[in-house]
Amino acid sequence: MAVTVNLTYPTNGLAGFPVSANFSFNITSGSIQKVQLWLNGGLVEEKNVINWSGPKFFNPTDDLSVDTDYTWMLKVQDWSSPFAWFDSDETWSFDTNVLPEKPINPTPTDAAADVTLDQATITWEDGGRATSYDVYYGDTSGSLTLVSSGQAGLSFTVDGITLGSPFDYLITRYWRIDAVNASGTTTGDEWSFVSIAFDQIRVSYRLISGGNGQGPYDSPPGVQGTDWEYTGESNMITIKKLIAAANNTIWIEDI
């Protein structure tokens, strides 16, 4: 063979080759006109060699498949044979990275209905193999806004952001965490939470058949008008007072 070509990367037996990484090789002797990259016995790409010696690279147009075993080799066209094709002396094997798992264990928990109005952060745990996270957030299911990209941490502060805390009573927010690594992105599950409801003034009631009411005032037993009736709108009254002070004297007057 009139030329010498050495495979350099991915190395033989490599585990976890990124699906969009470059293949590299080195021409140490001879003159090459063209070179072809072959994966698992099939031609992937061909390129012309402009500089005949030194390190060279292939960056395939299409990404490789994740979690897949591959073999790779080169075919080279000798400039002086004339134009004969030769296989590289080596055929190496490798496998590709695996996509990350979905994030897990959100806080607040999914569908939580007791989130306080001042909830400051949302958190999650790595489901496996993620190196960074994209955070999506909003008030419409299925239509969330990217609010953080490529973050390494397992929490995000919603205090002060658009649609973030402090919340109104009884509102719903949706959020999603996508996991990212060198192989790509795994879309996480959409989670939601609801802020607490305003604890309204309670009213008193009496049982029509007699006896004392039992249980919460806002959940009387039976049917209104048949089993029980309200005794009033509430037991609350409004008191207004005018307070003034001067010369060590305080005046308090009902208004």
Mean pLDDT, range 11-35, rounded to an integer: 87
User: Hey, what CATH class is 104-195 in?
Assistant: mainly beta
Mean pLDDT, range 78-107, rounded to an integer: 88
pLDDT at 53 over 80: no
β-bridge partners, 29: 4
Where do the structural domains in the chain lie, given as residue ranges?
4-96, 104-195, 203-255
Q: Which tokens sit at 179? A: 């996991």
Higher pLDDT residue, 49 or 252?
Answer: 49
What local confidence, expressed as pLDDT, does residue 226 receive?
84
**Confidence band for 2, pLDDT divided at 50, 70 and 90:** low
Tell me how far apart the alpha carbons of residues 37 and 58 are, in angstroms, rounded to a whole number.
7
Higher pLDDT residue, 122 or 249?
Answer: 122
Q: Which amino acid is at 203?
A: V
Peptide bond into 221 cis (omega under 30): no
Pick the CATH number of 4-96 from 3.40.50.2300, 3.40.640.10, 3.40.50.150, 2.60.40.1220: 2.60.40.1220
pLDDT at 12 over 60: yes
What local confidence, expressed as pLDDT, does residue 245 receive?
67
Please determine whether the domains at 4-96 and 104-195 fall in the same fold group of CATH. Answer: yes
C-alpha dist (Å) from residue 61 to 55, 70, 99, 251 = 20, 17, 20, 85
Tell me how far apart the alpha carbons of residues 145 and 124 are, in angstroms, rounded to a whole number.
18
Mean pLDDT, range 202-219, rounded to an integer: 64
